Structure 1
Amino acid sequence: MGFFGSGLEIKKPDQVAVMRQAGLIVGETLEILRGSVRAGMTTADLDAIAEDHIRSRGAAPNFKGYHGFPATICTSVNDEVVHGIPGPRVIEEGDLVSIDCGCVLDGWHGDAAITVAVGEVSESRRELLRVTEESLWRGIAAARLGGRVSDIGHGVESYIRKQPGGERYGIVEDYVGHGIGSAMHMPPNVPNFGSPGHGPKLVKGLVLAVEPMLTEGTIETTTLPDDWTVVTDDKGWAAHFEHTFTLTDSGAWVLTAVDGGRAKLAELGVPYGGPAEA
């Protein structure tokens, strides 16, 4: 491990390999949660499922205790954008539930998020989910060795604005992606907007978490009195998707995707950069 530029942590291949194992546990956990979410359960139920799986795989939740956060995952429902605390809230038919999950394995971190529609939701809200998730992949697809960090945000924003009605979405600016490795949040910040060609250079061993958050309207948010849960000021609903990825000589490797990102990257015409077994 070394440091590059403005204190950026550059991992050795064996360290990235451990991050892949941490990321795989996160990806597995999110898939279990995606299949578990249903009306009538509580957000605390989801948290218990997540912690059980993470610990069963020999890892530990990295959110729990982070600056005092009391749970394994963040569960943000409807107009909650991010950092919602699991608890007694009962999930209802038609809810959008954003689940942010992380773990640490042998000192190395993984971090990813999904948003799940519970039962029947409106077409416009299904489109909000689709655009948010696809913009995440378009940001990853824009990353190339020798490029710049802002290329990722430009890829995210460009995709969103080109969608039918894309100008109506709020791209949250106060909460952005980040470097990740021996700590969960590290330099550099990875915004989901902006022009390309700026910021630190994208090099081998740099690992980034990309996490667009879109709203139905305003980008203005407020943190609730619990000091964690972030809600939209106009009560518009939100979606949040995230993956941790790195670049190799071969291409992109999505450490928190169960298949390493192979299928989606192929769909986008982006070379896959992970090992053959992923």
Structure 2
Amino acid sequence: MNQKTKMPFDTLIGLVGLFLIWEGLYFFINHPVIPEPIETIRLFVHLFPSLIPHIFSSLYRILMAILISFLIGVPLGIWIGASKWADRLLSPLVYLIYPIPKVAFLPVFMLLYGLGDASKISLVVWIIVFQLILSVRDGISQIDRSYYQVMRMMHASKWQTFIYLLCPAIIPQIISGLRVCIGIAIASLFFAENYATKYGLGYYIMNAWSVIDYSEMFCGILALCLLGFLLFKLIDILERLLVPWKKDQ
């Protein structure tokens, strides 16, 4: 089985497994909060046009947060990893801030940036940017020092060292960090979208829950699963394009 046929087959196995788990929970728990899978999927297909604005609102917020986190986190991670002075100065600060439950800062961002997308995106950035900083820093710190000596012996410039040594080392770490960031971003955005918004999957799910429409609530959960799945597949495509040597291994 080649790689192209293996991926859809693996996806099919995952979908079947998810469906069987859902069916088992519906059968054994026997409570309205877990609706019947087939009927819910039919309802999802029927409601999909009305879900599109919510999906795109959540997708926009996630992608903007990841882009901003990338622009901030990658340069900082490179600086911390490449400079002992920066590592001594900033790593302890990152260690102190990183474990803090940052969702508690949502009221602060809402007061600073208003009730629109800016406060929600800022919250997600505040949560995931440290993951990217640490991923990039660790990627640089794992480079064997002998490689730097080889680059100096070849009279490589700083730019050439960055392109041919640092980038191949940090790109796999960035990809791994982005995978973690997607899960964290979706979870934190779900929380943020419960406040001062009328669009977003978090709002849609909690609104359905508030009116005790569990089937529609699960339709929102399915849309959230679909959004996360597509983002993870996008990361897989980026990995195959940017880290071809990993595929060869």
Q: Same fold (TM over 0.5)?
A: no
TM-score (norm. length: structure 1): 0.30
Structure with the larger RCO, 1 or 2 (CA within 8 Å, 6+ apart): 2
* Greater helix content: 2
Work out which of the two has the higher radius of gyration on C-alpha atoms and give 1 or 2: 2
* Greater strand content: 1
